[in-house]
Amino acid sequence: MTVISGIKNTKTAPVILTEPRLVRWILTGVALGYLLLFLIAPLTMVFLSAFRSGLQVYFAAIMTPEALAAIKLTLFVAVIAVPLNILFGLSASWAITRFEFPGKQWITTLIDLPFSVSPVIAGLVFVLLFGAQSYFGPWLLFHNISVIFAVPGIVLATLFITFPFVARELIPLMESQGSEEEQAAMTLGAGGWQTFFRITLPNIKWSLLYGIILCNARAMGEFGAVSVVSGHIRGQTNTIPLHVEILYNEYNFSAAFAVASLLTLLALITLILKSLVEGRTRKQLATTPEDKHEY
């Protein structure tokens, strides 16, 4: 990796180091056209369609009992799934970056696995595990526990999908920070938990927050995996994205986009928080003592 030396700004660079004006214009035009067609247009479309039939229709669509139940369920699922995956992320990154053990590379690879499994397949495996035809099916039926087509299945599928987010952010950071500070604290007599809360946590807080934001956005927006295990029972096992699908398939477009606009707002808030936190993590990485050695 090369460290930036000297000039970075194109304005101050000599003429020969930039492209002819025409090329610059064409490239900028192509790039902006692409972003306009694929990002800005869909984003605008959501809000245009949501408010097309007026504010009254918009609020009526959001305030229906089904929509409110879907919002409640989505929040409930996120409140369970996100903290569990935070706990996992902290624990996995501690084990992986602070110790040497056989099979470490395997665990690191396996953590990324859910990223390359189709959401539909993620849902499918839980149906195979807990569905009526599964090994546990008869036992669950006997004890009157429903996992599939019920809330527990939705939570499990969400856990699977959002599994890597926190761990993925923390592992590289904690690897590069090293454990000198923690060891120093312990030499001075701090206990394990004390070291974690006083030294480790403050050191990783921005990256942790970054991971949580991404994890939460995905947990609230997941569609494919949740769709497989939910059973689509209105008012009971419908999350917000599933509710959007039902409204859309009923040709109730204004309502579908109205509810979708809530998720879009969530996405925009996520992006804003993300860019705020991103600046912090960069600063943090830049001040990591380990990083200064790198050329």
Partner 1 sequence: MERSGALPDRLVRGFRVRKSHGMPGFGLTLGFTVCYLSLIVLIPLSMLFFRVAELTPQVFWDIITDPRTVAAYRLSLSTAFIAAMFNTVLGLIVAWVLVRYEFPGKRIFDGLIDLPFALPTAVAGIALTALYAPTGMLGRIFALAGIRTAYSPVGIIIALTFIGLPFVVRMVQPVLEETDIGVEEAAASLGANRWLTFRRVLFPEIVPALLMGFTLAFARGLGEYGSVIFIAGNMPLRTEITPLLIMIKLEQYDYAGASAIALVFLVISFTLLLLINWLERKQSGSLSAG
Residue ranges in 1-20 that form contacts with partner 1 under rule CB under 8 A: 1-8, 10-11, 13-14, 16-20
**What distance in Å separates the CA atoms of residue 166 and residue 287, rounded to the nearest whole number?**
21
126 and 153 in contact (C-beta within 8 Å)?
yes
Reading the block at residue 170, the tokens are: 């923390």
**What distance in Å separates the CA atoms of residue 278 and residue 273, rounded to the nearest whole number?**
8
Instruction: DSSP letter for 115, please.
Output: G
Binding of residue 287 to partner 1 (CB under 8 A): no
Residue ranges in 219-238 that form contacts with partner 1 under rule CB under 8 A: 220-224, 227-228
81 and 281 in contact (C-beta within 8 Å)?
no
Q: Given the complex with partner 1, which of 28 and 79 has the nearer CB atom?
A: 28
Q: How far is the CB of 32 from partner 1 (least distance, A)?
A: 7
Q: How far is the CB of 158 from partner 1 (least distance, A)?
A: 10
126 and 229 in contact (C-beta within 8 Å)?
yes
**What distance in Å separates the CA atoms of residue 192 and residue 141, rounded to the nearest whole number?**
44
247 and 259 in contact (C-beta within 8 Å)?
yes
Residue ranges in 62-101 that form contacts with partner 1 under rule CB under 8 A: 84, 87-88, 91-92, 94-96, 98-101
Residue ranges in 117-146 that form contacts with partner 1 under rule CB under 8 A: 117-122, 124-129, 131, 133-134
**What distance in Å separates the CA atoms of residue 242 and residue 229, rounded to the nearest whole number?**
11
Q: How far is the CB of 142 from partner 1 (least distance, A)?
A: 20
Q: How far is the CB of 269 from partner 1 (least distance, A)?
A: 9
Task: Spell out, one character per residue from 152 to 191, where the chain touches partner 1: x when CB under 8 A holds, - when not.
Answer: ----x--xx--x-----------x--xx--xx--x----x
Q: How far is the CB of 59 from partner 1 (least distance, A)?
A: 19
